[in-house]
């Protein structure tokens, strides 16, 4: 809560400043959480060493910033009382909170399910989906098996709650299957990882149309619930996940064939053409064969306006050269990041770890310092897959740098993975634990918003659907990461990451005006500039 004196000071500064002004918001290692600090005034001076926001060089249009709704998140929210849950949801989705405009969810089960291995049509041979049902997402969790459960709550109601809170704003849902129903696949399983066999299995050609019907039926069922699914992907991680959990191999030519001759035409026939199809849905650096196959197929190209991307190829780079190359090759197609997380929670490099299933102390995630220092590692840390791309990292820096650099290299949006998880990064039915923006120790009734949640909140509030990314020119050697957008209301939002342990002062030029900006040490700063 800001003091009356501070608010009066802000009013006085704005009143005395007839030049462009900026509202300034900061999240920092010093303990600021989307705090409003003293505003800035710009003047008509110029500086040769300024960071320049070029208003005359518009780039891509923003799709939005968001989070993912999973069964695991619904389970954790079922373990707190309804009033506390509503407070969390209001903070996440209301205009007064983070105002997340985009969410992602799974069609059928994924690894972030409590027990997993289910589909929404389990009847073998039911190619017309007559037994399709959303009931598995409505069943909730048995208190007799899960003693922390405080009442009926599930993925279906989590989706409905987000829709309720977002009803006056933009709410874009991206729905992704991790696999087709097992009976449609060549191995008859959700995944295989035993006796030397590690694979998800592949969709049988005779079930391509049935699988298109399956995805279409999901969209129709939610449309009947008042929710229009904004986009889908054919499958999450089509290159596989080593058979570790629900998955389905969908190689480039097969995915192109499925989109162009089954899924796209089925959407048209069912009146679902407003739902976009995004191709790929895996790591940025691996995308090349999929863009070549999908965009090289005239039918698939017609139905695929965007590619969906994950960040797991590196803990410090968004692969700008790949993103730039993709945009140069396909300038009319969009590139959207739809999954990233602080994964492999429980790796020995993590502070407080006893084994991959637990941590030495309850509430470890409430240690602010952890999120701002190079304490985290990922799936490839100290493995043959590292290749220098996976050093330990600061979670806040990773998120802020990836989003800022990604926007400067043609990303149209960013969606985080699970929005809420428990104190060991689950539940996850295959022990593939991860961190989340909101973490809950339900044994001790602790609900904690991590520092990187506040970074996502700043970005969500300052880069809205329909905003336009602007070109930013940064002097050589400048340690700051900066991106900017022109808002639909005419304002310019500038986001700045300072990873250094000292504050940095620098001139910032927006259009014809310049101000001296002080970026606090170890911080993410957002300027909302009124020109």
The verdict on residue 353 lying in a domain is no
CB within 8 Å of 192: residues ≥ 6 apart: 198, 199, 200, 201, 243
Question: Residue range 167-190: average pLDDT?
Answer: 96
Position 445 scores a pLDDT of 80
Judge if 425 and 490 occupy the same domain: no
What is the pLDDT, as a whole number, of residue 416? Answer: 98
Tell whether the model's pLDDT for residue 297 goes beyond 80: yes
Q: Are residues 239 and 273 in the same domain?
A: yes
Per-residue pLDDT at 197: 80
- Whether residues 281 and 314 fall in one domain: yes
More confident residue, 18 or 123: 123
- The average pLDDT across 104-131 equals 98
In a domain, 376, yes or no: no
Same-domain pairing of 17 and 150: no
Q: pLDDT-derived band of residue 55, with 50, 70 and 90 as boundaries? A: very high
43 and 117 co-located in one domain: no
Give me the count of residues in the chain.
531
Q: Give me the mean pLDDT over the 331-360 stretch.
A: 72
Report phi then psi at 78, rounded to 5: -75, -15
Output the pTM of the full model. Answer: 0.94
**Distance between CA atoms of residues 233 and 177, nearest Å:** 7
- The pLDDT score that the predictor gives to residue 359 is 45
Distance separating alpha carbons of residues 441 and 445, to the nearest angstrom? 6
Domain that holds residue 296: 63-341+394-462
| CATH code: domain of residue 508 | 2.60.40.1180
Q: How many domains does the chain have?
A: 2
Provide, rounded to the nearest whole percent, the portion of the chain with pLDDT above 70: 93
pLDDT at 306 over 90: yes
Continuous segment of H or E residues that includes residue 92: helix 82-93
Please report which confidence band the pLDDT of residue 444 belongs to, taking 50, 70 and 90 as the band edges: confident
Whether residue 458 is found in the same domain as residue 472: no
Chain mean pLDDT for the chain = 93
141 and 198 inside one domain: yes
Q: Are both 139 and 240 inside the same structural domain?
A: yes
The per-residue pLDDT for range 56-68, each reduced to its tens digit, is 999 999 999 999 9
Token digits of residue 507? 């001139």
* Per-residue pLDDT at 357: 40
Inform me whether the pLDDT recorded for 53 exceeds 70.
Answer: yes
d(C-alpha 335, C-alpha 412), whole Å:
6
- 177 lies in the same domain as 119: yes
Strand ranges across the sheet with 513-519: 35-41, 21-28, 523-530, 492-498, 481-486, 468-473, 51-61, 504-510, 513-519
Does a structural domain hold residue 337? yes
pLDDT band of residue 356 (cuts 50, 70, 90) is: very low
Asked if residue 6 has pLDDT above 90, the reply is no
Structure tokens at 6: 């501070």
| pLDDT at 220 exceeding the cut of 60 | yes
What is the per-residue pLDDT for 15?
A: 46
3-class DSSP assignment, residue 62: coil
| pLDDT at residue 362, rounded to an integer | 58
Q: Is residue 134 assigned to a domain?
A: yes
> What's the mean pLDDT in 267-287?
98
pLDDT of residue 350: 56
3-state secondary structure 218-286: HHHHHHHCCCCEEEECCCCCCCCCCCCCCCCECCHHHHHHHHHHHHHHHHHHCCCCCCEEEEEEEEHHH
Whether 144 shows a pLDDT value over 70: the answer reads yes
- Is 62:485 a contact under the CB 8 Å cutoff? yes
**Predicted pLDDT at 360:** 43
Answer whether residue 348 is part of any domain.
no
pLDDT, position 353: 41
pLDDT digits (tens, 9 = 90+) for 400-435: 999 999 999 999 999 999 999 998 899 999 999 999
Structure confidence at residue 528 (pLDDT): 98
Predicted confidence (pLDDT) at residue 8 exceeds the cutoff of 60: no
Give pLDDT, residue 348.
Answer: 61
Kindly tell me if the per-residue pLDDT of 349 is higher than 80: no
Q: What is the pLDDT of residue 371?
A: 95
User: Which is nearest to 350 in space by CA: 440, 271, 432, 435?
Assistant: 435
Query: Which tens digit of pLDDT belongs to each residue from 68-80?
Result: 999 999 999 999 9
To which residue do tokens 């162009």 refer?
A: 260
Residue 193 has pLDDT above 90, yes or no: no
Domain boundary at 462, 477, 503, which? 462
Q: Pick from 462, 479, 514: which residue ends a domain?
A: 462
pLDDT-based confidence at 352, cuts 50/70/90?
very low
């Amino acid at each position: 809560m800001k003091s009356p004196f501070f608010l009066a000071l802000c009013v006085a500064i704005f009143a005395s400043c007839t030049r462009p002004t900026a509202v300034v918001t900061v999240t920092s290692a010093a303990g600021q959480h989307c705090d409003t600090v003293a505003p800035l005034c710009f003047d008509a001076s110029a500086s040769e060493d300024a960071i320049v926001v070029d208003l005359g060089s518009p780039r891509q249009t923003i799709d939005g910033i968001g989070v993912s709704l999973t069964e695991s998140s619904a389970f954790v929210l079922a373990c707190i009382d309804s009033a506390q849950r509503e407070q969390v949801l209001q903070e996440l989705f209301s205009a007064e909170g983070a105002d997340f405009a985009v969410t992602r969810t799974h069609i059928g089960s994924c690894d972030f399910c409590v027990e997993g291995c289910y589909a929404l049509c389990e009847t073998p041979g039911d190619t017309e989906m007559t037994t399709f049902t959303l009931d598995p997402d409505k069943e909730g969790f048995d208190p007799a098996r899960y003693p922390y459960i405080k009442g009926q709550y599930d993925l279906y109601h989590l989706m409905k709650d987000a829709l309720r809170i977002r009803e006056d704003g933009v709410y874009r849902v991206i729905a992704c299957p991790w696999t087709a129903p097992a009976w449609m696949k060549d191995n008859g399983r959700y995944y295989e990882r035993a006796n030397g066999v590690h694979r998800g299995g592949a969709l049988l050609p005779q079930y391509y149309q049935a699988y298109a019907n399956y995805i279409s039926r999901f969209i129709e069922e939610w449309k009947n619930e008042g929710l229009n699914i904004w986009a889908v992907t054919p499958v999450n991680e089509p290159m596989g996940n080593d058979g570790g959990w629900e998955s389905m191999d969908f190689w480039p030519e097969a995915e192109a064939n499925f989109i162009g001759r089954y899924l796209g035409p089925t959407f048209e026939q069912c009146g679902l053409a407003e739902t976009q199809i995004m191709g790929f849905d895996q790591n940025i650096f691996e995308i090349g064969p999929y863009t070549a196959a999908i965009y090289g197929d005239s039918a698939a190209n017609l139905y695929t306006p965007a590619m969906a991307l994950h960040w797991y190829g590196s803990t410090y780079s968004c692969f700008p050269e790949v993103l730039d190359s993709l945009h140069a090759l396909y300038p009319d197609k969009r590139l959207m990041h739809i999954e990233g997380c602080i994964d492999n929670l429980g790796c020995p490099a993590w502070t407080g770890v006893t084994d991959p299933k637990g941590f030495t102390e309850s509430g470890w995630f409430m240690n602010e310092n952890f999120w701002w220092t190079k304490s985290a590692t990922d799936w490839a840390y100290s493995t043959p897959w590292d290749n220098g791309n996976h050093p330990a990292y600061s979670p806040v820096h990773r998120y802020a740098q990836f989003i800022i650099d990604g926007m400067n290299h043609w990303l149209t949006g960013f969606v985080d993975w699970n929005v809420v998880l428990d104190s060991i990064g689950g539940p996850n039915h295959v022990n593939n634990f991860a961190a989340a923006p909101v973490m809950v120790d339900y044994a001790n009734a602790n609900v904690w918003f991590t520092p990187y949640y506040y970074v996502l909140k700043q970005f969500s509030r300052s880069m809205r659907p329909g905003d336009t990314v602007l070109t930013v020119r940064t002097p050589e050697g400048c340690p700051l990461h900066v991106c900017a957008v022109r808002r639909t209301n005419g304002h310019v939002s500038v986001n700045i990451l300072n990873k250094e342990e000292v504050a940095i002062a620098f001139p910032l030029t927006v259009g014809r005006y310049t101000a001296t900006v002080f970026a606090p040490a170890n911080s993410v700063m957002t300027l909302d500039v009124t020109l």
